[in-house]
């Protein structure tokens, strides 16, 4: 039986009727049209469906939408501000860390949360941080480079402010 | 493919959850913790009929398939909103960890890194960062897989599991909690509430080493956990120059992926008790562990290889326990 669920996504409130079996990934894509979140394996292996729940990277395919009620959710649609790409996104574009793009939304969100706690990470720390997000195109090197580059941009930006 | 239909119940506190469980003991009720195993488990899988991996017959078809799912799931009871199941607290010599503490919380806790280093090692190597962010300690224990990365150190650190039901609470050792692969002594109306560790007075160190083919998203070929407590050290005892003699007061060794359940090697622990820690005693304890382990051959590793690795890993784990007892915990994890 469907029930009313209140979700807060990218700073906006949504009230939707859902079956309890609806996963957060399905609710985002099929009920709310937020198709930036990708569904790859549906079993918590690939990380393509990563969203931030209260700032923590989480598989949206293994979280029931009803369980996400009362939490702050951020999807890839909420990363850019006012039409301007976030430094992480800008670095991914410029370094060439995107090929087919399917892993990119999850990868960007994982990187975003990681850089908040680690403003100046080593390659090894980056590789460990993205070890739950699989990419079949890039061989990861460009992604690691992009996250390093983004860290630098964010540090510089903070230095200016 | 969508998840099967089920009802969903999300109690606000522990008494409410236990009341509900007492009334709904029927089959088909599953407990939802982090969901990283359960929601994979209840999703139907498409299995081709007569499926035999890498078999000629299979390649040539004809193709037919069926959808199989695990036990029927009529209702999930979600533990995510129950405050009593959260938190890590240190009370004198007892460290209490709530069952719904996530693996990532275990991994990042400085108290656990310091006092239960082996458990911290296990948490840092479980699944991937995304699994650790959602997956819970209690979930990993109740799943009762023989390779569970937090269960092996829990066994070696003599963690006690507090099981709660409307009838009251009971405490069981980890070794008695797991009865077989995926099987525990939990009754239908019981929940794992918390895990309690009694911390030794004397110098102690613990470690868990996981051997796997990858560094993330992997199930161990062999996992070895050890915990050592030493007698108070007398400087230059034994009169052999600058080296300190370290006498072992208590020793616990546990292995993963070598038996149908996490395996406690009591023989090796008994052997080390009262002995001096040195290269020979560590090697002998490792040899006993390899002899006692009863692994099987599967796609992750052969029986002989696993036995050999048990010896190597136990020796390394014991040395790491000693190093940590002597000079504190190394903070770089995931080695």
pLDDT, residue A28, reads: 98
B5 exposure class (CB count in 10 Å sphere: 0-12, 13-18, 19+): exposed
Over residues B246-286, the pLDDT tens digits come to 999 999 999 999 999 999 999 999 999 999 999 999 999 99
Per the CB < 8 A criterion, the answer to whether B3 and A21 are in contact is yes
- Going by the DSSP 8-state scheme, the letter that residue B61 receives in this structure is -
Q: A110: which 2 tokens?
A: 């994982």
Q: Does B69 touch chain A (CB under 8 A)?
A: no
What is the length of chain A?
161
Strands annotated E in A48-160: 50-53, 56-59, 72-74
- Rounded to the nearest integer, the mean pLDDT of chain A is 96
Higher pLDDT, B233 or B14: B14
pLDDT, residue B3, reads: 92
Nearest CB among B78, B131, B215 relative to A44 is that of B131
- pLDDT at residue A34 is higher than 80: yes
pLDDT, residue B44, reads: 76
Mutate to test the interface with A, among B5, B69, B128, B140 (most CBs of A within 10 A): B128
Contact B78 A67 (CB under 8 A): yes
Helices then strands, counting H and E runs in chain A, come out as 5, 5
Segment B58-66 mean pLDDT: 54
The segment with the largest mean pLDDT, out of A61-75, B42-56, B59-73, B225-239, is A61-75
Contact A59 B8 (CB under 8 A): no
- Going by the DSSP 8-state scheme, the letter that residue B77 receives in this structure is E
Q: How far is CA A158 from CA A84, A102, A144, A151, A154, in A?
A: 17, 30, 21, 11, 6
With CA atoms as reference, report the closest residue to B114 among B206, B20, B22, B224. Answer: B206
Distance between CA atoms of residues B140 and B143, nearest Å: 5
- pLDDT at residue B57 is higher than 50: no
Mutate to test the interface with B, among A62, A111, A125, A129 (most CBs of B within 10 A): A62
Mutate to test the interface with B, among A4, A132, A133 (most CBs of B within 10 A): A132
Q: Does B281 touch chain A (CB under 8 A)?
A: no
Residues of B in contact with A133 (CB under 8 A): 130
User: Please, which residues have CB within 8 angstroms of residue B133's CB and are 6 or more apart in sequence?
Assistant: A56, A57, A58, B102, B103, B104
Lowest mean pLDDT among A25-39, B33-47, B74-88, B110-124: B33-47
Verdict on whether the full-model pTM lies above 0.90: yes
Nearest CB among B78, B134, B334 relative to A59 is that of B134
How close A134 comes to chain B (CA, Å)? 10
How close A151 comes to chain B (CA, Å)? 19
Higher pLDDT, B43 or B95: B95
Q: Does A16 touch chain B (CB under 8 A)?
A: no
Q: B274: which 2 tokens?
A: 């009262």
Contact B129 A129 (CB under 8 A): yes
Residues of A in contact with B219 (CB under 8 A): none
What are the DSSP calls for B181-245, one per residue? TTEES--TT-EEEEEEEEPPSS-EEEEEEEE-SSSSS---SEEEEEEEEEPPPPTTGGG-TTPPP
Whether the bond into B62 is cis, omega within 30 of 0: yes
Q: Does A120 touch chain B (CB under 8 A)?
A: no
With CA atoms as reference, report the closest residue to A65 among A131, A17, A125. Answer: A17
Sheet holding B29-32, edge to edge: B7-9, B75-78, B29-32
- pLDDT at residue A72 is higher than 80: yes
Distance between CA atoms of residues B136 and B113, nearest Å: 17
């Amino acid at each position: 039986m469907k029930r009313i669920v209140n979700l807060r996504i990218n700073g906006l409130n949504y009230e939707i009727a859902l079956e309890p079996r609806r996963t957060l990934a399905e609710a985002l894509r099929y009920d709310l049209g937020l198709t930036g979140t990708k569904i790859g394996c549906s079993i918590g292996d690939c990380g393509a469906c990563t969203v931030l729940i209260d700032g923590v990277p989480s598989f949206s395919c293994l979280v029931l939408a009803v369980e996400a009620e009362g939490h702050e959710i951020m999807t890839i649609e909420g990363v850019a501000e006012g039409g301007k790409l976030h430094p992480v996104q800008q670095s991914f574009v410029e370094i060439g860390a995107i090929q087919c793009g399917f892993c990119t939304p999850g990868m960007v969100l994982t990187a975003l949360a990681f850089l908040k706690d680690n403003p100046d990470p080593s390659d090894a720390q980056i590789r460990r941080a993205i070890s739950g997000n699989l990419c079949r195109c890039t061989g990861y090197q460009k992604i690691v480079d992009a996250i390093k580059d983004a860290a630098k941009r964010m540090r510089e930006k903070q230095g200016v402010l | 493919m969508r998840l099967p239909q089920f009802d969903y119940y999300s109690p606000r506190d522990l008494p409410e959850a236990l009341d509900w469980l007492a009334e709904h003991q029927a089959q088909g009720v599953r407990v939802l913790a982090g969901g990283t195993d359960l929601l994979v488990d209840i999703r139907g899988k498409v299995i081709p009929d007569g499926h035999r991996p890498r078999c000629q017959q299979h390649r040539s078809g004809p193709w037919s398939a069926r959808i199989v799912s695990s036990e029927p799931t009529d209702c999930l009871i979600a533990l995510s909103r129950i405050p009593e199941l959260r938190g890590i607290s240190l009370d004198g010599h007892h460290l209490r960890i709530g069952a719904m503490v996530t693996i990532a919380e275990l991994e990042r806790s400085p108290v656990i890194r310091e006092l239960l280093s082996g458990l911290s090692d296990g948490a840092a190597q479980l699944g991937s960062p995304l699994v650790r962010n959602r997956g819970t300690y209690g979930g990993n224990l109740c799943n009762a897989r023989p390779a569970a990365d937090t269960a092996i150190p829990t066994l070696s650190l003599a963690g006690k599991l507090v099981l709660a039901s409307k009838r009251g609470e009971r405490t069981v050792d980890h070794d008695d909690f797991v009865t077989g692969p995926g099987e525990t002594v939990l009754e239908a109306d019981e929940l794992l509430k918390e895990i309690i560790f009694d911390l030794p007075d004397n110098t102690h160190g613990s470690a868990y080493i996981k051997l796997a083919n990858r560094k993330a998203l992997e199930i161990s070929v062999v996992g070895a956990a050890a915990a050592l407590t030493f007698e108070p050290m007398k400087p230059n005892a034994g009169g052999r120059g600058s080296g300190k003699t370290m006498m072992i007061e208590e020793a616990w060794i546990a292995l993963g992926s070598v038996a149908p359940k996490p395996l406690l090697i009591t023989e090796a622990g008994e052997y080390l008790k009262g002995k001096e820690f040195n290269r020979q005693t560590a090697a002998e304890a490792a040899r006993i562990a390899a002899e006692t382990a009863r692994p099987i051959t599967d796609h992750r590793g052969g029986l002989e290889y696993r036995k050999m690795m048990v010896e190597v890993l136990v020796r390394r784990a014991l040395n790491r326990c000693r190093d940590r007892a002597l000079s504190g915990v190394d903070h770089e994890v995931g080695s």
